[in-house]
Amino acid sequence: MSAYSLDLKREIEALYFEVLDKKFIKTSCSNCYKDAVMEMYVYLNKYNKMKEKTLYALKNGALLQLGFGNGNMITNANLTDTLAEKYLRMNPNGHIYFSKLPENWKNRVFGKKSKKKEQ
């Protein structure tokens, strides 16, 4: 039997999205709600704010690099719209690593030139 009521689980799921800007994924693990609360706690203690909302999100496990030899890695933890668009400008096929892209991402990244390239 779960230690968390259905209402509490729903509240944790909603808070998880608000604090970390990502969807809570239920697993068969009995501790996933406790883990989610701890993840939010650690993030809020570290940054003293909720994660900024972005138009982009990486797929689970994705780790991107801005060019060969560049030690700066991109994860969902440090992803910003500007960083995502810079990466996509450098790596146009890199969209496959994103789980969330705005509908107009090609226009945002490449401007009006992308329409000509697609046709």
pTM of the entire structure?
Answer: 0.62
H-run or E-run covering 73: strand 73-74
Summarize pLDDT for 47-92 with one digit per residue, the tens.
Answer: 898 888 889 999 988 999 887 787 788 998 888 999 999 999 999 8
Are the CB atoms for 99 and 58 separated by under 8 Å?
Answer: yes
Summarize pLDDT for 4-36 with one digit per residue, the tens.
Answer: 888 999 999 999 999 988 888 888 877 899 999
Write the DSSP symbol of residue 53: P
**So where are the chain's domains?**
6-47, 57-112
Write the DSSP symbol of residue 106: H
Cα 58 to its chain centre, rounded Å, is 5
